[in-house]
Amino acid sequence: MRSLIPAGLAVASSLFGTAAAVAANPLPKPSSISWGSSGAFSVGKLDLNAPDSDVLSDGFNRATKAITDLKWIPAATEAPVRSFEPFPTPTGASSRKFKRQYNTTSSLKTVSVKVDDVRAGLTHGVDESYTLEIASGSSTIEITAKTVYGALHAFTTLQQIVINDGKGNMIVEQPVNIKDKPLYPVRGIMIDSGRNYLSKAKVIEQITGMALSKLNVLHWHIIDAQSWPLEIAAYPNMTEDAYSPNEVYTKAVLTEIIQFAKARGIRIIPEIDMPGHASSGWKQIDESILSCINSWWSNDDWPLHTAVEPNPGQLDPLNNKTYEVTGKVYKEVANIFPDPWFHIGGDELHINCYNFSSAIRDYWAGGKTMGDLVQHWVDTAIPNFKKQANKTFVMWEDVAISPDARASGNVPKDIVMQAWNNGLENIFNLTRDGYRVIVSSSDFFYLDCGYGGWVGNDQRYNEQANPNASIPNFNYGGGGGSWCAPYKTWQRIYDYDFTTNLTDTQKDLIQGAIAPLWSEQVDDTVISGKMWPRAAALAELVWSGNRDSKGNKRTTELTQRILNFREYLVANGVLAAPLMPKFCLQHPHECDLNLDQNALNKAPAAT
């Protein structure tokens, strides 16, 4: 009979002072994982017994190559926090590292994979579940999955639980039984190549990190007002607004990236932001389809600003040529990206920008409103897009819920709304109204927040003394120019309970979450450090949640797991930033704020 220790008990023992079952658990934590206690397995060359599938064989080869090449020794292991002498004694008890001794009892030789449907396509809602079992005394790793994409996740888990025992021997620490599936079908990150160009190599690096953490959707905000790096055959002049001829995505490059992602079970949803955030590229076709592109964005009088950042520009919904041009661009991009979802933007429209259009000024004079103009865009653009390529559209929430620029009438309920403002309130309101929702709340998930402002000639920084020490202000304890400050730490991301106060019907409308990294201050040199490993906290949140079987937040439990995962990302070529001094990795939980390892679930949230 197998001796299996439920994962929750293993972790509890780690947090409350007895030995943890194993040194390293996979990230994201599986929905169900039980470790045995009969002893370790040695791992040598593994043979694959699986259905004929390039996706399976390539995924297996990647996993086993990583195991063989890295010979990974967990950098942050799960172990009990050491004891400390109580205050007022100034010195702690002697530090004794918890050392595991591995006694191998069997040798693993074969990976047996059974897949119900090897032909299932990579689309929204595809089954990603899997099981992985290594029984006591067995020489076989047994994997089952409904589709090849579940099997890929199983390989990723296997790649994390085969570790180096510190003496050069590859082992699995104990028998294990895993039954795993994600909570949500949309689990992703957003990259922005419109503000600063991102090379093919760096986009692929993000996809590598996604595959390792079981994220499955790359939302690619390809263009913006600042640049147009996307090659469009119908309008080749658009790339004259790329930053340089070397900073352009050709169809061949895009196809290579799409195939790289698909092989790892990752969908790419492209975004062409319309009708706002529009200048570069579009103006090379016809400036008449745009408004306010030559205005001063802030107007040096903020109530009259035409954009939230330079440079301004919005497509003119009253110009019929707008729909001819956007339809052709959409059709071409939709044919390049095979995913059945397509993001058409819709955020941050400003009435001041449209005051630069004589036709729209006449429209206002006739009694029409900004909401009517947005409704005209919805009623005209969306059927036009559907006619070119019938896909499911994703839009930023503004079109349905913005107090300044929501459509005045009906916005189709089959459009998926991406919620980014006002946290729980907007999620509640959108799901109440019957929309499917992707959660990207800026208060929790915006990875570019907290780095200060970036616009130049800003007099607000010229402040030599604190003008009011009693409250945080711009340069003293405030945001320092970052509208969404503070920085979103991995704990902030992981602690987000975004279904709070939702009915079961509303919860069913939540499709998952995407963490955006806007690129005003991001390019190849910093993207991976700003994205990772914080995106891995999101990955676990939307894969298996942030609570244990008793309903307690398991953020503290995640600490060693995410510290180890950061090192694993770096070892795999993903240049993730450090989260703590390396001392913290080597001294489990000694860098926690509270010695009481259950403090998170006792105390009220900080104010």
Active-site residue set: 348
In the block, tokens 């309970």 appear at: 497
Q: How many CB atoms lie within 10 A of CB 20?
A: 23
Residue positions counted in the chain: 607
Dihedral of the alpha carbons of 180, 184, 189, 194, in degrees to the nearest 10: 150
373 to each of 283, 401, 412, how far by Cα in Å? Answer: 21, 15, 16
The C-alpha atoms of residue 181 and residue 375 are separated, in whole angstroms, by: 39
Do residues 145 and 116 make contact, with C-beta atoms less than 8 angstroms apart?
yes
Residue 79 and residue 274: Cα distance in Å, rounded? 51
Six token digits for residue 46:
């593994």
- What whole-number distance in Å separates Cα of residue 145 and Cα of residue 127? 8
Return the closest-CA partner of residue 515 out of 205, 208, 187.
187
Contact 514/217 with Cβ under 8 angstroms?
yes
Helix, strand, coil shares of the chain as percentages rounded to 5?
35, 20, 50
Within 8 A by CB and 6+ apart from 390, the residues are none
Q: Please check whether residue 354 is in contact with residue 307, taking contact to mean a CB–CB distance below 8 angstroms.
A: no
What are the backbone dihedrals phi and psi of residue 23, each rounded to the nearest 5 degrees, phi first? Answer: -75, -35
Please state, in angstroms and rounded to a whole number, the distance separating the CA atoms of residues 331 and 323: 12
CA–CA gap between residue 395 and residue 342 (Å, rounded): 9
Contacts of residue 444, Cβ cutoff 8 Å, sequence gap at least 6:
423, 488, 492, 493, 496, 498
Identify the three-state secondary structure at position 288: helix
Where in 71-228 does DSSP place strands (E)? 104-117, 130-134, 140-147, 162-164, 170-172, 176-180, 186-192, 217-221
3-class state of residue 104 by DSSP: strand
Which helix or strand (DSSP H or E) is residue 148 part of? helix 148-161
Q: What angle do CA 8, 10, 13 make, to 5 degrees?
A: 105
- Write the CB contacts of 186 (distance below 8 Å, at least 6 apart in sequence): 124, 216, 217, 438, 511, 512, 513, 514, 542
* Distances in whole angstroms, Cα of residue 413 to Cα of each of 16, 373, 435: 48, 19, 5
Picking from 217, 223, 266, the residue whose alpha carbon sits closest to that of residue 242 is 223
Record the tokens describing residue 54, joined without a space: 């390039």
CA 44 – CA 522 distance, rounded (Å)? 42
Residues 6 or more apart whose Cβ sits within 8 Å of residue 248: 229, 230, 231, 239, 242
